Amino acid sequence: MRILAYLLLIGLCFILPASAISVTGAKYMGSIAPGQSDSQLITVSTGPDENPTDVEVDVLGFGQGMDQNYFPLSPADDISPYSGRMFITLSNSTLHLQPGVSQPVKATITLPQNVGSGGRYAIIYVHALPNSGVFITTGVIIPVLVTISGTQPMESGSILSVDTGTISVGQPITIKTTFKNTGNYHYYNTVNTVTIYDPNGNPAGNFSTQPSIYAIIPGNSVQYSATPRIPNLSAGTYTADSKVLLGDGTVLDEKKITFSLATNYVPPVTESNITLSPGSPATLTSPDGRYLVSFPQGAVLGDVVVSLGPYPANQLQPAPSGAKLGVTSFEITGLAGLLNKDATLNITYSADDLAAAGGDASQLKLSYWDETQRQWVILPTQVNTQDMTLTATTNHLGVWAVMISPSTNEGSPAATPTKAPIPVAFSIISFAAATVIFGAIVGRRK
């Protein structure tokens, strides 16, 4: 209910007028001895062209999502033994801001003598309230990270799970590592490294994430996502070795899992590009030769760079009624409109595509997503079962997929567009894009 309420609040800001607030002193990181105090001066203001705004300042719990982002926790949900919420008092919890005028709020942090060791954590949430008939939903979160001086911080962690997900030919192998801070103190710059070993114990691929810009807060679990660059793999049993390290290279935890490939694995197409010119034909070919797009002379009206690369299967729009998506997907980019003359696509389908079609290769079709009509267009496709290729002609680029369908819908006026679903995470994405909900955190470290 807490998260749902926040998402509903966030969603309002995209359909109702709002005033923006800004804050200085938008992060506290300091050391305080047991029985001692420290303070943080927070200045809250609105722009000179904003409406008069009523603002509330709350001290809430420190929440952290699996994506490592911070969010405020209600007092009822703030049950962490490392909570510092109850140690913070505010000089003022309600403000009335005139346009362009700032007001201060002093946050005082007082640790009891028996506070314990490590760190304590809270979020000060500064948010606008409905005012003068205008619905206001803007807000800023202020992370409070207190180090209890004179005590021993314990930096430890545990990998709860390592998951490869469903492995499909032509799609990346993504290793998701779920990790929990089991210590009493936060740490920055964590890195997840993943190495894939073949059945003989030889490295087959590896990947390291960028150092995290977020502190991992004690008691919270987060997830790292690694996509090792892997070559063709033969069928067999492989090992994924995942480690989570501190910025200095200290290994917090390591976990190995095995996974099996029933058939040979082929990685996603590697991106390639060519420059098309009006006066000559050209062929865009993937490095492994599995994807060929042949452009005739006059396909474009001016020089343009066209690229071919992978497209994540989990980001494809749903298949239309009576059809289903295969495994192979890719994207051709570089031209905003249509080609002047049709290009010919010659695409190698995979054993997984054929399996998805129940072994009936005649049902394999090439299809593209029409952004204008918001529908998949399934093209007449020639199937060559000997070399496992699909061939079709088109003047469209964009997102492509192998579709399993007994028929095509190209040129059919009765074709019903597939409505794109509204993502469940719309409010969260909007929040990140707008940067006005739950605020912006000063500096590179969050």
Residue in 350, 335, 359 with CA at minimum distance from that of residue 401: 350
Long-range contacts of 207-213 (CB under 8 A, 24+ apart): 207/175, 211/247, 212/68, 212/188, 213/188, 213/444, 213/445, 213/446
Mean pLDDT of 90-100: 92
The reported pLDDT for the residue numbered 131 is: 59
Percent of the chain beyond pLDDT 70? 86
Residue in 387, 385, 285 with CA at minimum distance from that of residue 343: 285
CA dist list (Å): 276 to 271, 300, 335, 400: 16, 7, 10, 20
| 272-404 fold | Chondroitinase Ac; Chain A, domain 3 (2.60.220)
| Residues 6 or more apart whose Cβ sits within 8 Å of residue 256 | 162, 239, 240, 241, 242
Is the pLDDT confidence value at 445 over 70? Answer: no
Is the pLDDT confidence value at 163 over 90? Answer: yes
Token digits of residue 57: 């300042």
CA-atom Rg of the chain in angstroms: 27
The reported pLDDT for the residue numbered 302 is: 93
Give 291-350 as a DSSP string. EEEEE-TTS-SS-EEEEEEE--GGGSPPPPTT-EEEEEEEEEES-SS--SS-EEEEEEPP
Distance between CA atoms of residues 186 and 182, nearest Å: 10
Residue in 196, 214, 221, 218 with CA at minimum distance from that of residue 206: 196
Mean pLDDT of 380-388: 96
Tallying the residues shown for the chain, one arrives at 446
38 vs 137, residue with greater confidence: 38
CA dist list (Å): 13 to 19, 352, 404: 10, 44, 41
Mean pLDDT of 323-351: 94
Confidence of residue 292 (pLDDT cuts 50, 70, 90): very high
Is the pLDDT confidence value at 162 over 50? Answer: yes
CA dist list (Å): 125 to 2, 158, 236: 15, 30, 52
Is the pLDDT confidence value at 216 over 60? Answer: yes
For 429, the 3-state DSSP assignment is helix
Is the pLDDT confidence value at 17 over 80? Answer: no
* Residue type at position 443: G
For 282, the 3-state DSSP assignment is strand
The reported pLDDT for the residue numbered 357 is: 95
The reported pLDDT for the residue numbered 219 is: 96
Mean pLDDT of 26-47: 95
Is the pLDDT confidence value at 136 over 70? Answer: no
The reported pLDDT for the residue numbered 312 is: 87
Is the pLDDT confidence value at 432 over 70? Answer: no
Token digits of residue 399: 């997102």
Mean pLDDT of 270-289: 94
The reported pLDDT for the residue numbered 409 is: 83
* Mutual angle of helices 2-12 and 426-434, in 10-degree steps: 60
Specify the pairing of strand 139-148 against strand 28-32: parallel
DSSP code of residue 270: P
The reported pLDDT for the residue numbered 269 is: 85
Is the pLDDT confidence value at 417 over 80? Answer: no
The reported pLDDT for the residue numbered 1 is: 42
Beta bridge partners of 120: 146
Q: Among 72-81, 85-94, 414-423, whose mean pLDDT is lowest?
A: 414-423
For 443, the 3-state DSSP assignment is coil
Mean pLDDT of 343-366: 94
Mean pLDDT of 83-103: 94
**What count of Cα atoms within 13 Å lies in the side-chain half-sphere of residue 286?**
21
CA dist list (Å): 37 to 81, 124, 406: 20, 17, 73
Task: Give me the CATH code for the 157-261 domain, please.
Answer: 2.60.40.2550
Percent of the chain beyond pLDDT 90? 71
* Residue type at position 331: E
The reported pLDDT for the residue numbered 411 is: 57
Mean confidence (pLDDT) of the chain: 87
Distance between CA atoms of residues 157 and 340, nearest Å: 58
Residue in 329, 254, 346 with CA at minimum distance from that of residue 295: 346
Q: Among 188-202, 268-282, 429-443, whose mean pLDDT is lowest?
A: 429-443
Question: Where are the domains positioned within the chain?
Answer: 2-152+427-434, 157-261, 272-404
Is the pLDDT confidence value at 338 over 50? Answer: yes
Same-fold call for 2-152+427-434 versus 157-261 = yes
| 2-152+427-434 fold | Immunoglobulin-like (2.60.40)
Mean pLDDT of 353-359: 93
Q: What digits encode the pLDDT tens for the residues 164-199?
A: 988 888 888 999 999 999 999 999 999 999 999 999
Confidence of residue 257 (pLDDT cuts 50, 70, 90): very high
Q: Can you tell me which residue has the tokens 């997503």?
A: 369
CA dist list (Å): 227 to 95, 140, 172, 342: 47, 33, 7, 35
Cβ atoms of residues 326 and 352 within 8 Å: yes
* Residue type at position 157: G
Mean pLDDT of 304-313: 93
